[in-house]
Amino acid sequence: MKTRRVRGLTGVVLAIATTLALSACGIPANDEVQRIDPKHVPAHLLDPTLPTPPASPTAR
Amino acid sequence: MRSILPRRGLRAAVILAFASGALLISIMFAVTTYLSTRHYTVEQRERSGLHQAYSDASRIKAVLTRHANIQATLSSLRMSSHATIHLRVGRRWYSVGRGANTRAPIQHVIPAVRDGSVAFSWTSATSVPSSVVGVPLPAVNAEYYEVAPAKRLQSTLRTVEATLAVCAALTTLAGIVLGWFAARRVLVPLNGVADAAARIAAGELDTRLSPTRDPDLTTLVSSFNTMVDGVSSRIEHDARFAANVSHELRTPVATLTTSLGVLQHDPDLSARSRMAVEIMNTELVRFRQALEDLIALERLDSDIGDSDLEVVPVTDVVANVARENHLDPALIDLPEDDDGLEVRINQLQIRSALSNLIRNANNHGGGVTAIRVVHLDGHVEIHVQDNGPGVPTEDRARIFERFTRLGARRSGPGSGLGLSIVERTASLHGGTVECRANSPQGADFVFTLPLAQEQA
């Protein structure tokens, strides 16, 4: 009886682990929109009164 | 409900436990590693995507402020970032890049940007998952959107997935190997116990398990040895008791035999009384035979010393036994070349055993039909054959057990110990005895002894 219970528990743990692993695979492309805190955005983009600074190259 | 799977042995259970443990640990390790790696790389990609979009949006804002050529600037941005760019200026949309023909990937971001927030999203609306950044540019009444495919990030995550899956499989395999070694280590002491039990069952009652310093095995070893001590002492006690009883009964039985002999010769005895005395005499003879057999077995159980053994030609022994039992010499079949057919035996015991086989044939098989000596590789077989009803196949091993008397023989002569004495004698001399079917009918008792030259 006890062995059967332990076997069932192992199965549940394995199933949860597998589901978690599968759902966590790859890039989370779920169309969820994040609004970026304006404090972290260059001020000249959102504030119409500020002039645009000289461009600096960035790399992706 | 009964399981349809066969019951697992100890070895399989240990291996399974190790494999399950290794599998669980490796899965937990792999999931944790993967989640943290994914979180870090995705976050890095989001950060770099936002910085690229801020930089590009700044350039667009500058171009729109100067009223320069928007399309040319968008194309140059697209060439430097490989992204699809959508730009709304007033009511007009400008798009460049591979996905320029549709604005579906940015639809869910537009409301947030319209509200004046910079918005970020991962979308699956493109063939490869892509990051979408929307930046409002209120100074020029514009909205800037950048859709950048994350092909390299996807490939990196797939490599990490494959690597962790292989590592988990290897860890599980290592768990199985470790479990196999552990099971072997655990079973070694049990094999020792099984060997000792087998030796004890074969009659080596002085067998004991060696003391061990392993605290987990100390109890097992001491319990086993105590059990064997108990069984051994009980067997010795029982044997001693049987021997003492047999010896004690010998004298009264001898007195009874003598008295019955006197009674048998009494001329005044009525016919009825004479019949009763005859029956008593028959039973007394049988009783005396049983006592003699019990004493013989007790002597055999106390083993034979090397000093009692002598090397003699087996043909001489068989000839002497046949003569002692008044057998017709024509029934004896000895090999023509008996050179080297010598056996190392206690003559008294072997002659007694062969006599028992002859008596068995006379009592239950209608008399001996042949005694044959066959020289085989390393040993010699002495066949005592009869023409009687034979022994059923299922009883051929059982008839050598003590006090076993089959079917109609139960009421016949004999103590039920004769064949046990034969079996014990053969065993003590390193030989065997078995019962086969004789052709065309009857039983063929085969007494096998190793040749003396093989034992040297």
Task: Give the whole-angstrom CA distance, residue B159 versus residue B156.
Answer: 5
Task: Give the whole-angstrom CA distance, residue B121 versus residue A35.
Answer: 9
B153 in contact with A, Cβ within 8 Å: yes
When CB atoms are compared, the residue of A25, A27, A38 closest to B150 is A27
Residues of B in contact with A58 (CB under 8 A): 48, 51-52, 55
When CB atoms are compared, the residue of B38, B49, B121 closest to A31 is B121
Maximum CA extent, chain A: 76
The answer to whether B311 touches B454, Cβ cutoff 8 Å, is no
Cα-atom radius of gyration of chain A, to the nearest Å? 25
Task: Give the whole-angstrom CA distance, residue B293 versus residue B416.
Answer: 9
Nearest to residue B78, comparing CAs of B145, B151, B130?
B145
Task: Give the whole-angstrom CA distance, residue B146 versus residue B162.
Answer: 31
A15 in contact with B, Cβ within 8 Å: no
Q: Per-residue DSSP letters for B173-192?
A: HHHHHHHHHHHHHHHHHHHH
Chain B: residue whose CA lies nearest to A59: B52
Q: What single letter denotes the amino acid at residue B43?
A: E
Burial class (CB in 10 A: 0-12, 13-18, 19+), B79: exposed
**Chain B 416-455, CB below 8 Å of chain A: which residues?**
none
Chain A: residue whose CA lies nearest to B52: A58
Best mutation target, B4, B80, B117, B157, to test chain A (most A CBs within 10 A): B117
B129 in contact with A, Cβ within 8 Å: yes
The answer to whether A14 touches B27, Cβ cutoff 8 Å, is yes
B254 in contact with A, Cβ within 8 Å: no
pLDDT averaged per 10 residues, chain B (length 456): 62 90 90 90 93 90 81 74 86 87 91 94 88 93 92 91 92 93 87 89 84 85 91 84 81 87 85 88 84 78 68 90 89 80 88 91 88 89 90 86 67 74 89 88 92 74
| Minimal CA separation from B169 to chain A, in Å | 14
pLDDT at residue B118, rounded to an integer = 95
The phi, psi pair for B392, rounded to 5°, reads -55, 145
A13 in contact with B, Cβ within 8 Å: yes
Q: Do B129 and A35 touch (CB under 8 A)?
A: no
The answer to whether B249 touches B294, Cβ cutoff 8 Å, is no
Residues whose CB falls within 8 Å of the CB of residue B62, separated by 6 or more in sequence, listed in order: A52, A55
Residues of A in contact with B157 (CB under 8 A): 25-27
Task: Give the whole-angstrom CA distance, residue B252 versus residue B356.
Answer: 25
The answer to whether B125 touches B86, Cβ cutoff 8 Å, is no
**Chain B 97-126, CB below 8 Å of chain A: which residues?**
108-109, 112, 116-125
A12 in contact with B, Cβ within 8 Å: no
Bridge partners of B96, per DSSP, are: B85
Which tokens go with B74?
């968008």
For chain A, the straight-line distance linking the first and the last C-alpha, in angstroms and rounded, comes to 58
pLDDT at residue A60 tops 50: no
pLDDT at residue B412, rounded to an integer = 60
ipTM of the complex: 0.70
E strand residue ranges, B90-162: 92-96, 118-123, 130-137, 142-149
Q: Do A52 and B65 touch (CB under 8 A)?
A: yes
A28 in contact with B, Cβ within 8 Å: yes
Task: Please report the sign of the dihedral spanned by the C-alpha atoms of residue B279, residue B285, residue B289, residue B295.
Answer: positive
Q: Do A58 and B116 touch (CB under 8 A)?
A: no
Residues of A in contact with B51 (CB under 8 A): 58
Best mutation target, B118, B132, B137, B167, to test chain A (most A CBs within 10 A): B118
